Structure 1
Amino acid sequence: MKIMLCCNAGMSTSLLVQKMQKEAASRGQDVTIEARPMNEAMDHIDEADVILLGPQIGYAKGDFEKAVNGRCPVTVIPMVDYGRMNAPKILDDIAALLG
């Protein structure tokens, strides 16, 4: 599974990616996670199985949903989980999203 995290510039999100990769590895999950700035993300949208948006760009959710056209889920990371870099909770949310 490939997860793409999108944010404004990619600084705080890259730290979150590291935490999520470590958590996924500890769970034995085969997951690729990458962070991309929003202006670059649309060029790589077809590569992702799940798209996570940082809360600061939650306003763009509709644009991303339109771009993926139902091919994969798009969700906004809750502010509290993003702020706390709560990788376990974010991965749990993805699992619930994928059913």
Structure 2
Amino acid sequence: MIKILISCGAGMSSSFLCQKLQKACKEAGLENEYSFDFFPINVAGIADGAKKVEEYDVTMVCPHLRLWIKELVEKKSPNKPIYVLPPQMYGTMIFEEVIADAEDIIKGFKESGLNPYHFPGEDQVLKIRRKCAYRNIKK
């Protein structure tokens, strides 16, 4: 099972998006393959946020936390990947696209150790305009 943590600053939008993903997961009959949880990582602080990240296979956070996540990684060096979601993807959270990216982030992190993780050419998250998973971009 892949455990995915969705996080925003205070837990408002991430709780809503997490519920959406959990519902889609259940409707697809994949609740034994993926689980979703939310956590207000920014409110929790660096130390507690880093502890929470370690409980999941991947943490996906809202775009406005990009600088805070960079600080968390620099101070705590978590052993699990943290991914700052592109703005349009965070706004839509399409189940199939989120799980595709989650799988690819986990694999990419294992290969590169890059944290916060980003896909090739996507190091500036606010410039990314995709709603789909990185693997589904038409090149």
1:72 aligns to what SS in structure 2?
Answer: coil
Task: Please state if 1:36 is matched with 2:35.
Answer: no
Q: Normalising by structure 1, report the TM-score.
A: 0.79
Q: Which structure carries more strand by proportion?
A: 1
Q: 5+ residue gaps in structure 2? A: 108-139
Tell me, in whole angstroms, the C-alpha distance in 2 between the residues paired with 1:45 and 1:85: 20
Deviations 1:45-96 (A, max 9, x none): 3212211111121222223334243x11110111001112323212211111
Q: Equivalent pairs: percent with the same residue?
A: 26
Task: Please state if 1:53 is matched with 2:64.
Answer: no
Moved more, 27-36 or 71-80: 27-36
Q: CA deviation at 1:27?
A: 5.3
Q: Higher relative CO (CA 8 A, sep ≥ 6), structure 1 or 2?
A: 1
Higher Cα radius of gyration: 2
The count of corresponding residues between Structure 1 and Structure 2 is 98
| Runs of 4+ with deviation above 3 angstroms | none
Q: Which structure carries more helix by proportion?
A: 1
Deviations 1:22-50 (A, max 9, x none): 23331525222111112225142321221
> Alpha carbon RMSD of aligned pairs, Å?
2.0
1:4 aligns to what SS in structure 2?
Answer: strand
Q: Aligned match of 1:79 in 74, 82, 87?
A: 87
Q: 5+ residue gaps in structure 1? A: none
